[in-house]
Amino acid sequence: MSELEPIRIDGNSLQRSFHGAVFFDRDGVLVDGVMGEAGPRPPWALDEIHFGKTVFQAISDVHDAGLYAVVITNQPDVARGQLPLDTCLEIANHIVNELDIDVCYICPHDSADNCPCRKPAPGMVEQALTELSVTRAQAALIGDRWVDIACANRAHIPGILYSQIDALSPTSAGNPPDELDVAFTSDSLEGCVDFAGRCCNG
Ligand SMILES: [Mg+2]
Ligand SMILES: [Zn+2]
């Protein structure tokens, strides 16, 4: 990718003026992984999108708490030539609309691009905080892998682990850092959102 900017997709309800934001990783948190030849991968087509059972309630709870629901997602399959950008955007738009997401930021790059947005880099979170006028005291991030927690740590906001058995195993971004500051862990998305809401009342 030559353009090293994340892609921003706005939802229908962005005119809302909320006091804080809950950042959600997408794949493995809001959307189920798809079992591919080399293990779980993101959906590559609209009919591969499956939402977790508790996801709709989770987003509704975030809005009821007066907070933006923001998606922060790495989609390196675009840079790897496995997912056309148009399809990536079609999938993201569908998810944004179905879940009533306020804003979605997508990093379409791979590690070799050295972009500021690919998690664990904090670029997408920093951009969202600025663009939504949200302070760090009113933000938290929920993710299922170490890159999400490391991103939150580097953005100086609480990192909440929606626990999965492979949360701390190496990813295509490498190994987790020795010191990972996990603010809260739960295998319940409702529990993660509840904790995030309490973080955002600072
Ligand atoms: Mg994930
Ligand atoms: Zn990027």
One pLDDT digit (tens) per residue for the chain, 202 residues:
557 899 999 998 777 889 999 999 999 999 999 998 888 899 999 999 999 889 999 999 999 999 999 999 999 999 999 999 999 999 999 999 999 999 999 999 999 999 999 999 999 999 999 999 999 999 999 999 999 999 999 999 999 999 877 778 888 888 888 889 999 999 999 999 999 999 997 6
User: Could you read off the pLDDT of 133-152 as tens digits, one per residue?
Assistant: 999 999 999 999 999 999 99
- 47 Cα to the center of ligand 2, angstroms: 26
Tell me if 95 is assigned to some domain: yes
What are the residues whose beta carbons fall under 8 Å from the beta carbon of 40, sequence distance 6 or more?
28, 33, 34
- 23 Cα to the center of ligand 1, angstroms: 12
Element (H, E) at 7: strand 7-10
| Rounded-to-integer distance, Cα 86 and Cα 140, Å | 30
Of the candidates 128, 126, 124, 163, the one whose C-alpha atom is nearest the C-alpha of residue 146 is: 163
Tell me if 21 is assigned to some domain: yes
CATH number at residue 169: 3.40.50.1000
Tell me if 136 is assigned to some domain: yes
Q: According to DSSP H, which parts of 28-132 are helical? A: 55-64, 85-99, 123-132
- 64 Cα to the center of ligand 2, angstroms: 31
- 132 Cα to the center of ligand 1, angstroms: 23
Number of domains present in the structure of the chain: 1
Tell me if 66 is assigned to some domain: yes
Q: Domain range spanning residue 86?
A: 7-201
Tell me if 2 is assigned to some domain: no
3-class SS of residue 27: strand
Ligand closest to 41 (CA) is 1
Tell me if 196 is assigned to some domain: yes
Does residue 177 have a cis bond before it (omega within 30 degrees)? no
| Rounded-to-integer distance, Cα 49 and Cα 44, Å | 8
- 121 Cα to the center of ligand 2, angstroms: 9
Tell me if 56 is assigned to some domain: yes
Amino acid at 125: V
Model-level pTM? Answer: 0.95
Tell me if 1 is assigned to some domain: no
- Residue list, CB under 5 A from ion ligand 1: 25, 27-28, 144
